[in-house]
Structure 1
Amino acid sequence: MNEHRVVKVSKYLSKHLRHQPERIGLTLDENGWVAVDALIRAAGEHGFRFTREELDHVVATNDKKRFAIRDDGPRQSALIRASQGHSVDVDLALPPAEPPAYLFHGTHPRAMTAIRAEGLRPMNRHDVHLSPDRETATRVGARRGRPVILSVDSGAMHRAGHVFRVSANGVWLTAHVPVAFLRFPNGSGEGMTGG
């Protein structure tokens, strides 16, 4: 499977497992799962054909582990879901977890005015997405050009009662990051509560 095809299938899956399942007649369950057979059939009926082998390859080789497959045995159809990033209403049923002392967020310079005023908000997603290291945050932020990397005092947030969860692909999720827990890239520590 060539890289162009991998990217095309991955983008198709993201669109329909995170944002618009109804567009191809899919209904995700409350936790975001849908039968693999139903997904392949619906995609084909809407002009985008791919095989189970192609799907398995995309899931297995995706560097960000965007998708998860659950196969409960021969009597059950295998299920697939996006690991996080949904704009449709799902509950990933991830348990609360204690985050590392610091997490990171990559963003675009145009977002900085709003972030300095409101902190990090989930925008059209369910949660704010945070990376476990600067390198990952840089890759995430670079999707829209040269990124700005923010440090999050996630340890202090956790101690203050903010809930964190971690997705299957290692992305940390929280409802909101108030300005007080952010360190901006000017090195001033503006807003940071400690550390």
Structure 2
Amino acid sequence: MESQGRGGRGGRRGERGRCGEDKDVRLSKSMSFALRHGANKLGLHLNPDGFLFVEDLLAHPQFRSYSLEDVERVVATNDKKRYKLCRHPEDGRLQIRANQGHSLQVPDLELRPVQAGSSDCPVEGVHRSYLCHWTSIRTQGLSRMNRTHIHLCLPGEEDSGKRDVCDLAIYINVPKALADGIQFFLSENGVLLTPGDTEGKLPLRYFSKALRLKPTRSILPLE
């Protein structure tokens, strides 16, 4: 994809602001808020499929210090592939979308439904959280909170990524939940998503196990 040169508005990876935060980290956080939660508050218009034209993003006062090169670099280097950058099929304008994690209602995120018994139906999904929330989770179940989905990774990915501060992993029996009518989807970047039950939750009966991840791994009682 084309980009502005290094003499443009953006800077190189590694530049730091007054608080010492990497410029790319600041841009990624700002894009995450705009594309997942705050488009309406910022006066930005998301298409029904969740895409926003990059030119509109960069024209916003919050993003005017960044360049197209900055956006492309953040999308390309994001460890979880949280963003998708592509051309609009009709006019060719560059557009960007967050692949999941929305609190905004986005009707068409190209999520692939998981079918019971299919080859892509996992036996378990894993939700990463914190031990300080375990008592509440065990009592009330997992909640999607203000988001549209509960996020799950696959077994074996509990320690992956940069969110290594998580010290709790909750394993969900996906086939059992599917059998009860709870929907699951796979996002374009391979995250397992579920809206939960009618209350937006995954109750304790769908928990396979709960695992303390740190300082050493140990099984937590479910009852």
SS in 1 for 2:148: coil
Give the match for residue 159 of structure 1.
179
Match of residue 98, structure 2, among 76, 82, 99? 82
Question: Whose radius of gyration is greater, 1 or 2?
Answer: 2
Q: Distance in 1 between matches of 2:62 and 2:162?
A: 32
Secondary structure at the residue paired with 2:142?
A: coil
Q: Pick which of 159-168 and 78-87 moved more.
A: 159-168
TM superposition shift of 1:37? 1.0
Instruction: Return the match for 1:57 from 73, 78, 98.
Output: 73
AA matched with 2:114:
A
Identical-pair percentage: 30
**Residue of structure 1 in register with 2:215 after alignment:** none
Change over 3 Å in CA distance of 1:163–1:95 after alignment to 2: same
Change (3 A) 1:142 1:100: same
Give the letter for the 2:87 counterpart.
D
In the alignment, structure 1 residue 36 sits paired with structure 2 residue 54: yes
Unaligned runs of 5+ in 1: none
Q: CA deviation at 1:74?
A: 8.2
Matched residue, 1:184: 210
Alignment match, 1:20: 38
Q: Which has the higher strand share?
A: 2
2:118 is aligned to none
SS in structure 1 at match of 2:136 = helix
Whose helix fraction is larger, Structure 1's or Structure 2's? 1
Q: Output one character per residue of 1:45-97: Cα deviation in whole Å (capped at 9) or x when no partner.
A: 33642111111111111001111112145833122111111112212242312
Aligned pair count reads 187
- For normalisation by structure 2, the TM-score amounts to 0.75
TM-score (structure 1 length as normaliser):
0.84
Relative distance call for 1:141 and 1:11 in structure 2 (3 A) is closer
